[in-house]
Homo-oligomer: A and B are copies of this chain.
């Protein structure tokens, strides 16, 4: 043991385990989100529409961020502070 092969295998195993832990946490987040939708639904809200709203707001935010970045690019190109 302790040869390069083994060392590499150990490293790989550690990477895989780190990823799997993170994937589990991520799945936990997904489950939490699902629960909120269920809770909202139980209070009479329509989950499908809510998903649309969330999706739309995400895109709008993304567009706004990009607009800001583009503006910054222009400012830099024009030598402004």
- Point out residues on A near B: beta carbons under 8 Å: 8, 11-12, 15-16, 18-20, 22-23, 25-26, 29-30, 32-33, 36-37, 39-40, 43-46, 49-50, 52-60, 62-63, 66-67, 69-70, 73-74, 77
Contact = CB atoms under 8 A, between A and B. Distances in A.
Contacts of A12: 40, 45, 50
Interface of A is mostly: helix
Contacts of A49: 70, 73-74, 77
A26 B20 contact: no
What copy number does this chain have within its complex? 4
A60 B67 CA distance: 10
Contacts of A66: 52, 55-56, 59
Nearest to A60: B63
A45 to B, nearest CB: 6
